[in-house]
Amino acid sequence: MDSTRVTEHPTSFDRPSTGADPTDPRGALLHTPVPPDSSGSALPVQGRGGETPPGTDPAGTFEHAQPGAEQAAEADAHRPRPVAEGVPAQPDGGQAGAAQPADVRPDAVPSAGTASGDMASKGVTSGDVASGDVVPGDAVPDGGRQDGAAPRRGAEPDRRTGQLTAPGQPTPMRRDGDRLRFVGAATRRIARGMDLDEIVMGLCRATVPTFADAILVYLREPLPVGDERPTGPLVLRLRRTDRIPAERDTEGGFTPAVQPEPSELETLGAELCEVRPGSALAEVLRGVRPVFTDTRSARAALPELLGEEQDLALPDGRRAILAPLRGRRRVIGAALFLRGPERVAFEADDLLVAAQLATHSALGIDKAVLYGREAYIADELQRTMLPENLPRCTGVRLASRYLPAAETARVGGDWYDAIPLPGSRVALVVGDVMGHSMTSAAIMGQLRTTAQTLAGLDLPPQEVLHHLDEQAQRLGTDRMATCLYAVYDPVSHRITVANAGHPPPVLLHLGGHAEVLRVPAGAPIGVGGVDFEAVELDAPAGATLLLYTDGLVESRLRDVWTGIEQLRERLAATAQLTGPDHPPPLEALCDEVLDMLGPGDRDDDIALLAARFDGIAPSDVSYWFLEPEDAAPGKARRLARRALARWGMEDLTDAVELLVSEVVTNAVRYASKPVTLRLLRTDVLRCEVGDDVPQLPRLRQARATDEGGRGLYLVNRLARRWGATRLSTGKVVWFELNRG
């Protein structure tokens, strides 16, 4: 027999704890061992609040009750002591805690090693025996009760009623303890859910089969968000229904003693129901508190919830509880807990359990809906801040990736962009605003819009960064960001790069060699008073330029330069797989780069932009300067005809001559410097005419009496696309035609 005994003490003196099941180790008592006196009698038991039970010395205390107790108390000073508790009255009105001389007789106490001697060695006093706490396996003297009747072996009196309870039968207080443990486990399981489905599933898994044989969860359709006032009628939709599974869940408390077979509970549950104002279901939901379905109001409400025919399948008696689910401001649904006929019916205390489950679930659902709305807003904000689709630019192919810092932080300050520029050029931009919050995303959106506007003016990269720095200072003194701005020219196969405190780009050559470009570091945007510098580098055909944010290369496990070196090695290793003459596909290359991130490498959001330089061959470019004179349109038609003949595109000659003549005529009329004419042969035929006049042409409908104004109308009707871009030195008007 174990010498250590365990007990549970009440947290309030107003409600004494009940007796424990003798067969349950949880009901054993913990007592501080006290050496018995020479006569074999144990120490008296104190009553509530220090009262001295009858038959004891009023002046006696625990330390001075008998000789030799001082040494025992000093040695036992650090042992836990039971909390003093009141002693309930016995059924015959006697004092249970009174230690009668007949309870433990000196001649009835055997020597050490016997049952009663074991009781004394374990600290079980005569007061313990008199109060009805029976030690399993020990003999109880006949004088254990005042009426002289010996209790049955193994029986236990209920401290609230004084009646004996058969071994193995749970007492009412023990069932209350099981309910508390079940509610605690169930609420923890419900609280683990983050979204709506997880919370509803947590409620169902915690309830079935521990508390009920089946559960039906109805939620409002649609669910209101926050302070929104729902419009339209109240409609409940069956969100989830669970029955007893094949393997019972024993995680959260007690389980049903009998495993019911599939019964009429399997057929319950209507998919959709409308709650009519003033109906019985509306009144039950308005009452908020769970109710048994055998009540008049609930019995009238069930046909509306389940349907007329399915209501008849409910088991009789208190085997169903209808619990409204109320959020912060309104009812958002209902839960129906069911028990089959083979199981014990619900009790009155089970309504409190259902109320706790419904309250925690409703509040969790309310917060999950709010969280879902916030996540949706964050996703939409981030999606609109970043380009939805990358443009198709001449001479370059593009691919991109964006990863948020975490699922809980879906927005951030990282961005990328690709902006077409005049002359078939393209601006490649990547930036990073400090932080990954909604504020960072808002600042990022403003800086990205500013960068697009500045790029449309065809400013040099260093001037773009200078104006971005001024814009960041206007937004606030603490608005800091890094940015890298590069302009690629497919005709000259050159790239111009300006940097503002951003990690340098990596260029992967066609042969598999990867190098980190040497660009000026620069100061971050928002510092103010800093000059930015641009460098011009070669961009050979077949090479791949990789722009990225520091979240890709920097983390708690490595510094930024170590990450850049790992990125360079990863690019080189990936290029070796496709051979020296074939660059790796862009999309697969982006995926390979992101695969270098380890489990602990995601500290920040990541923006990635990859550009494959195809370029335009010199043989596919024709370029001329035309003096601003009346003969310029005719000369432009002859030059265009010769270029088309050289390229074998004679079928486009008539359309090109007409459109070139109209655009060059417009340019010559107002230009004061030579006009440029350039033809580019790619997947389309592109014509560009530049002059030194900043005013952009405007399409208008010419009147019948007008002598001009029809040139752009013809361009708009015959060209595949056309446009005009203002430059720092003037403008460029361009149009494109499909190649045959």
Q: Which of 76-85, 223-232, 463-472, 675-684 has the lowest mean pLDDT?
A: 76-85
**Angstrom distance (rounded) from CA 465 to CA 404:** 25
| Mean per-residue pLDDT, 633-646 | 95
Count H helices and E strands in the chain, helices first.
Answer: 16, 23
Q: Which residue has the tokens 């039968």?
A: 169
pLDDT at 534 over 90: yes
pLDDT at 42: 38
3-state SS class at 11: coil
Q: Is 122 or 678 the better-scoring residue by pLDDT?
A: 678
**Token couple for 433:** 């605003």
pLDDT at 595 over 60: yes
3-state SS class at 447: helix
Q: Which of 66-75, 323-332, 376-385 has the lowest mean pLDDT?
A: 66-75
> Which range, 128-132, 339-343, 377-381, has the best average confidence (pLDDT)?
339-343
pLDDT at 650: 92
pLDDT at 277: 85
Tell how far CA 635 is from the center of its chain. Answer: 66
Tell how far CA 70 is from the center of its chain. Answer: 61
Cis amide bond preceding 222, omega within 30? yes
Q: Is 198 or 579 the better-scoring residue by pLDDT?
A: 198
**Token couple for 584:** 């790796």
Is residue 71 classed exposed, middle or buried when 0-12, 13-18 and 19+ CB atoms within 10 A define those classes?
exposed
pLDDT at 711: 79
Beta bridge partners of 568: none
| Mean per-residue pLDDT, 597-601 | 63
pLDDT at 642 over 90: yes
pTM given for the model: 0.61
User: How many CB atoms within 10 Å of residue 734?
Assistant: 22
Euclidean distance between the first and final Cα of the chain, in Å? 99
621 falls in which pLDDT band (50, 70, 90)?
A: very high
pLDDT at 43 over 70: no
542 falls in which pLDDT band (50, 70, 90)?
A: very high
232 falls in which pLDDT band (50, 70, 90)?
A: low
Q: What is the mean pLDDT of the chain?
A: 75
Q: Which of 191-200, 305-314, 586-595, 634-643 has the lowest mean pLDDT?
A: 305-314
**Angstrom distance (rounded) from CA 122 to CA 587:** 76
Q: Which of 606, 572, 573, 484 lies closest to 534 in space, CA to CA?
A: 484
pLDDT at 132: 36
**Angstrom distance (rounded) from CA 450 to CA 456:** 10
**Token couple for 403:** 């990863």
pLDDT at 679: 94
- DSSP readout, 355-420? HHHHHHHHHHHHHHHHHHHHHHHHHHHHHHHS-SS---BTTEEEEEEEE-SBTTB---SEEEEEEE
pLDDT at 227: 66
pLDDT at 68: 46
**Angstrom distance (rounded) from CA 63 to CA 77:** 11
Per the CB < 8 A criterion, the answer to whether 26 and 6 are in contact is yes
In sequence order, the 6+-apart residues with CB closer than 8 A to the CB of 292 are 298, 318, 320, 321, 346, 351
| Mean per-residue pLDDT, 540-567 | 90
Residue 153: CA count within 13 A, CB half-sphere: 3
Tell how far CA 27 is from the center of its chain. Answer: 43
Tell how far CA 724 is from the center of its chain. Answer: 46
pLDDT at 674 over 50: yes
User: C-alpha distances in angstroms, 35 versus 55, 64, 118, 123, 600?
Assistant: 20, 13, 12, 7, 60
Per the CB < 8 A criterion, the answer to whether 471 and 447 are in contact is yes
Per the CB < 8 A criterion, the answer to whether 371 and 401 are in contact is no
**Token couple for 341:** 């006929």
> Strand order in 214-220's β-sheet?
272-275, 234-243, 214-220, 331-338, 320-326, 291-292
| Mean per-residue pLDDT, 470-493 | 90
Backbone phi, then psi, for 409, in 5-degree steps?
A: -130, 80
**Angstrom distance (rounded) from CA 396 to CA 586:** 11
pLDDT at 74 over 90: no
Q: Which of 145-159, 422-436, 497-511 has the lowest mean pLDDT?
A: 145-159
Q: Report percent pLDDT > 90 for the chain.
A: 33
Q: Report percent pLDDT > 70 for the chain.
A: 68
| Mean per-residue pLDDT, 688-695 | 91
| Mean per-residue pLDDT, 538-554 | 93
pLDDT at 58: 40
| Mean per-residue pLDDT, 77-96 | 42
Q: Which of 45-59, 324-338, 557-571 has the lowest mean pLDDT?
A: 45-59
pLDDT at 596: 82
Q: Which of 79-88, 170-179, 568-577, 700-709 has the lowest mean pLDDT?
A: 79-88
Q: Which of 155-164, 202-211, 387-396 has the lowest mean pLDDT?
A: 155-164
SS (H, E, C) 540-578: CCCCEEEEECHHHCCECCECHHHHHHHHHHHHHHHHHHH
| pLDDT tens digits, 100-158 | 443 444 444 444 344 344 443 434 433 343 333 333 333 333 444 444 444 444 445 54
- Spell out the alpha helix ranges (H) of 261-348: 280-287, 296-306, 308-311
- Spell out the alpha helix ranges (H) of 460-509: 461-475
| pLDDT tens digits, 443-471 | 898 999 999 999 988 889 999 999 999 99
Q: Which residue has the tokens 């660059």?
A: 583
**Angstrom distance (rounded) from CA 554 to CA 502:** 12
Per the CB < 8 A criterion, the answer to whether 217 and 204 are in contact is yes
Q: Is 414 or 114 the better-scoring residue by pLDDT?
A: 414
**Angstrom distance (rounded) from CA 693 to CA 691:** 6
pLDDT at 660 over 80: yes
576 falls in which pLDDT band (50, 70, 90)?
A: confident
**Angstrom distance (rounded) from CA 598 to CA 587:** 20
pLDDT at 122: 39
Per the CB < 8 A criterion, the answer to whether 427 and 460 are in contact is no
pLDDT at 230: 67
Per the CB < 8 A criterion, the answer to whether 496 and 461 are in contact is yes
